[in-house]
Amino acid sequence: MKPAKHLLVVGAAILLSLNVSCRDAQQTGVPYEPQETVIIRSEPSANAPATVDSSEETPETGPLPPKPETPITAENRKDADAETTQGAREIVLGKRFKVTIPQHWVSKIPAVPFIEHEFAVPSTLEGEPDARITFMTAGGGVKANIERWVRQFRLSPGQDESKAIVQKQLETIGQKVHIVDVSGTYLEPVGPTMERVIERTGYRMLGAIIECNDGFLYFVKFYGPEKTVAENESAFHAMIDSLQVAGSR
């Protein structure tokens, strides 16, 4: 055999042997052992967005839930209108005026929709009901509303009417303020349509009507047991004296 032909035969035999070996390895389940592969990970650029590995978020270490929003209620909507200044609060009346309310008067949800603000004035006597103060707009004129307030009281036998019913007029920031002071048995209207009356003996009412030059009227009514009203009489008048135009400093 010539040398060149001999080399061809030997090379063919080697290739056949390798082919058979690879086929046998696949058939017999011998694992294939690849060469070691090195993976080079590039560093993120400064402009690349940050990513979070979600596999690390467990119930114990996962992201915090969003903070729930505070629901809006009628009570906290009125607290938001009030400004705290040295223990007192300013409230806006009819989008026109503002007054300063003592700290110990307790804000309440108005009993009826047409009342803009309502406060309870705590009693200092155990078992005695708190006094009540309301702020609202209304029509009907100054005289008619004063007469209505007076009719809500029944004087005790022998009570001096001139002392039980006191009226005076002030002027502040260019507006007239009518003050009414009535004491006796208060005929408190109750029920959805004010169809019933509860008699409250030993009651007193301080009322104020702010009369604007354009005819706008605003009403402040403070009533309750005589002792509680007397203890807060100075605070009531100080509140009226604090009357300012809304938005002013």
What's the domain range around 170?
Answer: 108-230
DSSP 243: -
Q: What share of the chain is helix, strand, coil (3-state, %, to 5)?
A: 25, 35, 40
Is residue 200 one of the residues assigned to a domain?
yes
In this prediction, residue 181 carries a pLDDT of 97
**What gap in Å lies between CA 4 and CA 165, rounded to an integer?**
141
In a domain, 77, yes or no: no
Q: Is residue 18 part of a domain?
A: no
Task: Indicate whether 73 belongs to any domain.
Answer: no
Residue 88: per-residue pLDDT: 76
pLDDT lower than 50: segments of the chain? 4-5, 7-86
**What phi and psi values does residue 211 have, to the nearest 5 degrees?**
-110, 115
Three-class DSSP category at 9: helix
Look at the block and give the residue holding tokens 């389940």: 29
- The confidence score (pLDDT) of residue 2 equals 52
| Residue 86 within a domain | no
* Residue 49, in any domain of the structure: no
The Cα–Cα gap between 94 and 151 comes to 26
The 3-state DSSP class for residue 58 equals coil
Q: What pLDDT score does 207 carry?
A: 98
Q: What is the pLDDT of residue 190?
A: 82
**CATH label of the domain that carries residue 133:** 3.40.1000
pLDDT at 139: 87
Distance of CA 243 to the CA centre of its chain: 25
Angle CA 85–89–92, to nearest 5: 120
Counts for the chain of helices (H) and strands (E), in that order = 6, 12
At residue 231, the pLDDT reads 97
Both tokens of 243, joined, read 């009357």
Name the domain count of the chain. 1
Q: Please give the single-letter amino acid code of residue 100.
A: T
What would the two tokens of residue 143 be?
């005289």
Domain assignment of residue 166, yes or no: yes
Q: Is residue 158 part of a domain?
A: yes
pTM exceeding the 0.85 threshold for the entire prediction: no
The string of pLDDT tens digits covering residues 15-68 is: 444 444 444 444 444 444 444 444 444 444 444 444 333 333 333 333 333 333
